[in-house]
């Protein structure tokens, strides 16, 4: 078989041309970066876990009527997704103060925000993904006002869905980041959820112990990063306890390749 054509390599994923027009294969690497690539490590098994967790979440979103780029998982590290034009904005939804908002506004980590807050960051690694306002987004034509409204409305629905999903397994959804893509069908365009939703892009705290179960374990050198991701996957039910894929702890359920 001819080698697949690589379209793009990011910090945690590689995109390859898909088997049919309009599709892409999204490959999840084990690489973790933080602080705009200043910190880097390879965390064995992370890509496999994020592939599964993101699949599970995207399928859940589809069930509540939120369209995503996800088509199907291909194997341990790859999923088939719809080809979209990525909107160069990261939408961050926050329920509890942590990370950059705590620093910027002098809030105490863990403080419940007066209401869920949406922020926009301009996707540009050279600039370190700066916080921007709707004014910047429309003035520079990164997205139009209707798209901003759509991204906000969809993000609120994702927040409701994810908050409930995680609360059901004893996890607090502190915040998360989501990306959107434009999908063109004839002369119609719609915004759909793209990229991934995983412990790399969410803050997740254990409801009882307050333990951190997301990429902050890596950012803050807390250790046991993949163990925490594995526990998230286990609680969501995408892992079976009994098997062992070369590492201690539970393994992935019903993989079909790789």
Structure tokens at 231: 């526990």
Which does residue 11 bind out of ligand TMP, ligand ASP, none, counting CB within 5 to 8 angstroms by kind?
ligand ASP
Question: Which SS3 state, helix, strand or coil, does residue 212 take?
Answer: strand
Give Cα separations from 120 to 12, 88, 91, 93, 101 (angstroms): 21, 10, 5, 9, 12
Decide whether 4 or 103 has the Cβ nearer to ligand TMP. 103
- Name the residue whose CB lies closest to ligand ASP: 33
Determine, following the binding rule CB under 6 A, whether residue 33 of this chain makes contact with ligand ASP. yes
Residue closer to ligand TMP, measured from CB, 10 or 237? 10
Which is nearer to ligand ASP, 31 or 227 (by Cβ)? 31
Q: Does 144 bind ligand ASP (CB under 6 A)?
A: no
Q: Please, which residues have CB within 8 angstroms of residue 17's CB and are 6 or more apart in sequence?
A: 4, 5, 6, 7, 24, 25
Q: Considering CB distances under 5 to 8 angstroms, the limit depending on partner class, which of ligand TMP, ligand ASP, none binds residue 175?
A: ligand TMP
Among 177, 163, 175, 201, residue whose Cα is nearest residue 50? 201
Q: Which is nearer to ligand TMP, 10 or 19 (CB)?
A: 10
Dist. CA 97–CA 107, nearest whole Å? 7
Distance between CA atoms of residues 88 and 68, nearest Å: 17
37 binds ligand ASP (CB under 6 A): yes
Estimate to the nearest angstrom the gap between the alpha carbon of 184 and the chain centroid.
Answer: 23
Binding mask 216-255 for ligand ASP (x = CB under 6 A): ---x------------------------------------
CA 180 to chain centre: 11
- Least distance to ligand ASP, CB of residue 36, Å: 4
List all residues 6 or more positions away from 206 whose beta carbon is below 8 Å from its beta carbon.
Answer: 170, 171, 172, 213
The residue nearest ligand TMP at its CB is 99
- Binding test (CB under 6 A) with ligand ASP, winner from 9, 22, 36, 160: 36
Q: Which residues bind ligand TMP (CB under 6 A)?
A: 92, 99-101, 129, 175-177, 201-203
Q: Which residues bind ligand ASP (CB under 6 A)?
A: 11, 33-37, 215, 219
């Amino acid at each position: 078989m001819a080698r697949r054509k690589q379209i793009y390599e990011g910090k945690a994923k590689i995109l390859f041309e898909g088997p049919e027009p309009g599709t892409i294969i999204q490959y999840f690497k084990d690489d973790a970066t933080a602080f705009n690539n200043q910190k880097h490590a390879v965390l064995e098994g992370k890509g496999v876990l994020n592939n599964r967790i993101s699949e599970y979440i995207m399928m859940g979103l589809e069930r509540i009527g939120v369209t995503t780029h996800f088509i199907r998982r291909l194997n341990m590290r790859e999923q088939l997704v719809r080809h979209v034009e990525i909107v160069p904005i990261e939408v961050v939804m926050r329920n509890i103060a942590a990370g950059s908002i705590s620093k910027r506004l002098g809030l105490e980590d863990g403080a419940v925000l007066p209401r869920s807050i949406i922020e926009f960051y301009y996707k540009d690694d050279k600039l370190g993904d700066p916080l921007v306002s709707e004014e910047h987004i429309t003035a520079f034509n990164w997205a139009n006002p209707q798209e901003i409204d759509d991204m906000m409305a969809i993000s609120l629905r994702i927040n409701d869905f994810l908050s409930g999903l995680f609360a059901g397994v004893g996890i607090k959804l502190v915040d998360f980041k989501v990306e959107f893509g434009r999908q063109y069908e004839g002369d119609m365009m719609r915004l759909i959820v793209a990229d991934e939703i995983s412990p790399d892009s969410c803050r997740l705290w254990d409801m009882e112990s307050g333990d951190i179960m997301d990429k902050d374990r890596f950012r803050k050198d807390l250790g046991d990063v993949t163990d925490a991701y594995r526990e998230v996957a286990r609680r969501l039910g995408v892992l079976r306890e009994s098997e062992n894929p070369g590492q201690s702890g539970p393994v992935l359920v019903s993989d079909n390749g790789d």
